Amino acid sequence: MEGNVRYSPQVSSCSIKVRLVLSSIGVAVGLIVFFFFSFHYRNYNAGLWGLVSGLAAGLALGVTIAYSKHVWDGNPRQLKNFMLTGCFIQLAGICGFVAYLVLAISKNQDLIEYGDGYYLTTVWCFMTWKWGFALLMYSRTFLRSYQEKESLIQGEEAFGNKSAYDSVGDKQ
């Protein structure tokens, strides 16, 4: 292995694009589920959990957009707040999933779409958990990329080497 090879701490642009597309779909589906389940099927539990899922997807989308626009460059430690928010969203999703599953089983409920269908609500509790997990992982990945950039810069300054950012055009 050659000593000049450097690890790039940046998140790939393809990964960012995939996250943007998936999060956008999550927001749209969450809002659609809210309106359809709440107003058409009268399943308010599933509708509200769909809305919470869409809001969590919106947070994941916002964090990704902010990273791609370099908003976190000044203070990447703010991403820890989003990591914590993702943990709480996951906790809410798991608690809701277990609660609605227990309700559905204890009431011997079949899969029903109109009214209080608890099995459909468990699906949207799981989707809420999933977007909480995505928010946690996106924030964590972005924070690590900033930490790796910082450690690379500090390491180069300690050894007196030029920064990786200064030597982009100096390849011979």
State the total domains in the chain.
1
Give domain status of residue 162, yes or no: no
Domain range for 125 is 13-157
Q: Which pLDDT tens digit goes with each residue over 116-139? A: 889 999 999 999 999 999 999 999
Give domain status of residue 6, yes or no: no
Q: Which pLDDT tens digit goes with each residue over 93-109? A: 999 999 999 999 999 88
Give domain status of residue 21, yes or no: yes
Give domain status of residue 132, yes or no: yes
Give domain status of residue 78, yes or no: yes
- Token reading at 167: 């030597």
Give domain status of residue 41, yes or no: yes
What pTM did the predictor assign?
Answer: 0.80
Give domain status of residue 164, yes or no: no
Crossing angle for the helix pair 13-35 and 118-159, nearest 10 degrees? 160
- Answer whether 81's CB lies under 8 Å from 43's CB: no
Phi, psi of 71 (to 5 degrees): -70, -35
